[in-house]
Amino acid sequence: MRALVQRVSEAAVRVDGTVTGEIEQGLLILICAMKGDTEADADRLSSKISKMRIFTDENGKMNKSVLDIGGSALVVSQFTLAADTRSGNRPGFSTACGADEGNAFYEYFAKSMADTGVPVAKGIFGADMKVSLINDGPVTIWIDTDQWK
């Protein structure tokens, strides 16, 4: 799985002008299921993200996790994280899971993230979503579970 994690002061996702998910302080997690991913990958990723110490402590050091600060997560499906830009000008997405499997992994990851104790809001898989955020820091971290194999 691939995730782009952003520390945010607030974030929201809208579909057709209607808010489908929003959070205050916490993490915006853009997530993409890749061919060959497993539920174990999703579980390990959610555990890693929930414990990642990227929030500042009283000394201004990144020493606290989203759990430590009582923050939330907004999880948004983002198949374009699978973009292959090695040739030509049009990215390829053949390494991303197909829609049905991708949706299943998206829902599984969101539940796995919630199971860590982090409140989770979501977008709508496959919808034309408008995401707004205030990136805090900015802090943006790329995670690819293939790097752990």
Clarify whether 78 is annotated catalytic. Answer: yes
Which is the catalytic residue, given 55, 79, 105, 109?
A: 79
Domains and CATH numbers, the chain: 2-136 (3.50.80.10)
* Main-chain phi, psi angles of 36, to 5 degrees: 95, -5
Query: Residue 9: which pLDDT band, with cuts at 50, 70 and 90?
Result: very high
Query: Could you read off the pLDDT of 113-125 as tens digits, one per residue?
Result: 999 999 999 999 9
Catalytic residue among 78, 109, 116, 145: 78
Q: What does the pLDDT look like over 10-32, one tens digit per residue?
A: 999 999 999 999 999 999 999 99
Predicted structure pTM score = 0.96
**DSSP letters along the chain, please?**
-EEEEEEEEEEEEEETTEEEEEESSEEEEEEE-BTT--HHHHHHHHHHHHH---EE-TTS-EEE-HHHHT-EEEEEE-GGGG-B-SSSSS-B-TTBPPHHHHHHHHHHHHHHHHHTT--EEE--TTS-EEEEEEEEEEEEEEEEGGGG-
pLDDT-derived band at 130 (thresholds 50, 70, 90) equals very high
Q: Is 79 a catalytic residue?
A: yes
Residue type for 147, please? Q
The chain-wide mean pLDDT, for the chain, equals 97
147 as an active site residue: the answer is no
